[in-house]
Amino acid sequence: MQNFIEDNQLDEEEQEFFEHYKFVADKGQDFLRVDKFLMDRIPNTSRNKIQVAASSGNILVNKKAVKSNYRVKPFDEISVVLPYPPREIELIPENIPLNILYEDDEVLVINKQAGLVVHPGYGNYTGTLVNGLIYHFNNLPNGNTNNRPGLVHRLDKNTSGIMVVAKTEFAMTHLANQFFERTTERRYNAIVWGDFEEDEGTVTGNVARSLKNRKVMDVFPEGDIGKHAVTHYKVLKRYGYVSLIECKLETGRTHQIRVHMQHIGHSLFNDNEYGGDKILKGTSFAKYKQFITNCFEILPRQALHAKTLGFTHPTTKEWLQFNSALPDDMQQVLAKWDNYLVNRELEE
């Protein structure tokens, strides 16, 4: 019997872009071609699709790319990345401004603004990052997914920050494997409700769709529901009723930071899906309520920014790391909290 390892570390968002499979050949494995080996084990696929994956470097044996005629040996670890079938969505180029931090022949690094949907989907067929990308760049790789050219990961609509885009098929394959293997570095800044007793900590808890509301995620600390998720956090500055923190993702589940912070009682400031759009800490005085209302008007979204992204360049193999400053809306809110604390101390 073949040992099939289902990848429980895979982000739901990444699953929308690529299928990932991993197999381990048992000790009695015959020397079978890897394309035949995979075709017998992956449902609803074809030999041609697998051969295309091999020619693109998407079939790894013991973490090294192989050709489709490679002969599988006992105890080989075989992993394969396959794009999902294309969706029939017509992409319309649109002149959407892009904040480009870095560009070469292989990759593009951008600083995504809050409010921008990453790719077309139900209810968002235009006005997305992808519409802007195809306006500014020709022949982006699509990995057979015609509504997501160049994409290997994404951010929520109302999360700002750094993303990498592939400009070639080779770069797409290489970057997709880095996200799959969790060798990228991703750090976020967030404003959350409440103060922390400790300076840093870790949240561990499976993440899955809520059983009560399928539009949001929930944390399941015990049992088999959901996917293993780990978020490391560090307090950067304390404001009493809110805190500025850094989050480092060990895994990358859908809404992971947002739902993990809610789970430990520190919902993101003005996160309307996870309870952060209410006054969770502070006083009941009208002056304080107005202060919070003013902050919400300045920052009409969850206070989350993808500040740092690091990855290995597909061609040069150089480690690249990019950082971006907090966007203006988060900076303005933090400045208001600074002033609030000063005035509060003077009153006391």
Which residues carry out catalysis?
A: 156
Which amino acid belongs to residue 27?
K
Spatial distance between the Cα atoms of 111 and 107, rounded to a whole number of angstroms: 14
Which amino acid belongs to residue 137?
F
Spatial distance between the Cα atoms of 196 and 245, rounded to a whole number of angstroms: 10
Alpha helices in 122-188 (DSSP H): 129-136, 169-181
DSSP secondary structure string, 40-52? TTSTT--HHHHHH
**DSSP state letter for 276:** T
Strand partners, 218: 208
Spatial distance between the Cα atoms of 290 and 129, rounded to a whole number of angstroms: 35
Residue 90 near residue 134, CB atoms below 8 Å: no
Strand partners, 60: 65, 79
CA distances from 12 to 135, 247, 300 (A): 28, 19, 26
Alpha helices in 40-189 (DSSP H): 47-55, 129-136, 169-181
